[in-house]
A and B are shown apart, each in its own frame.
Chain A
């Protein structure tokens, strides 16, 4: 099983450029999410999706777009990159979210390190 696959692993952008971070999972998970990790800040939720065709904003959504056209894929788009978006981005998925099922343990991808100059 590949689990959660993120590409690229590393990327350098100039301010104003756009790009897409790819995330794919092969576990048939309904729930997918994007976090950014910054030193001293922990992980902060950017966007999440509870199923194909459904997305919602997390704690820090500004400057990012997502879509969920299939169960497997959840790309994160940076519309116009800014230095403040320099970070490590993690995609994560689980069977579901919410407390009732107990099946919402996240599986994380390996991360994408983005530098915006």
Chain B
């Protein structure tokens, strides 16, 4: 069975700090990978996605993620965070060719202090 592991459940940073949120997955075949964000009181929105091609993908609001197949990782990065980045971040996986829906990690609650 596939699974997604997010290493940090809570992260607190100051504005302008650099961010890296870890995501590892367990699945032996082709995968699609996603990062979704949930701002306070709002529903989930897509931040970025990887389907194929360049393993470094760029998303909205200056976020990027790198797919490292050998490490089964898809870490999310941002060079300089803002207070408005306070949110919950979810890494998700879809296994290749399947219709089983997305498997989500447990989420990382990011708090940016002004």
A residues sitting closer than 8 Å to B (CB atoms) are 31, 33, 35, 40-45, 48, 50, 56, 58-59, 90, 92, 97-100, 102, 104-106, 108-111
Contact = CB atoms under 8 A, between A and B. Distances in A.
Contacts of A42: 4, 6, 90, 104-107
Contacts of B102: 43, 45, 106
Interface string B72-114: 0000000000000000001010111111111111110000000
Interface of B: 4, 6, 9, 30-32, 34, 36, 42-46, 49, 51-52, 90, 92, 94-107
Contact of B99 (A43, A44, A98, A102): A98
Given A41-B106, A99-B51, A48 B43 contact: no
Contacts of B105: 42
11 contacts: A31-B99, A42-B6, A42-B104, A45-B101, A48-B99, A48-B101, A50-B99, A90-B44, A99-B32, A102-B32, A106-B36
Nearest to B106: A42
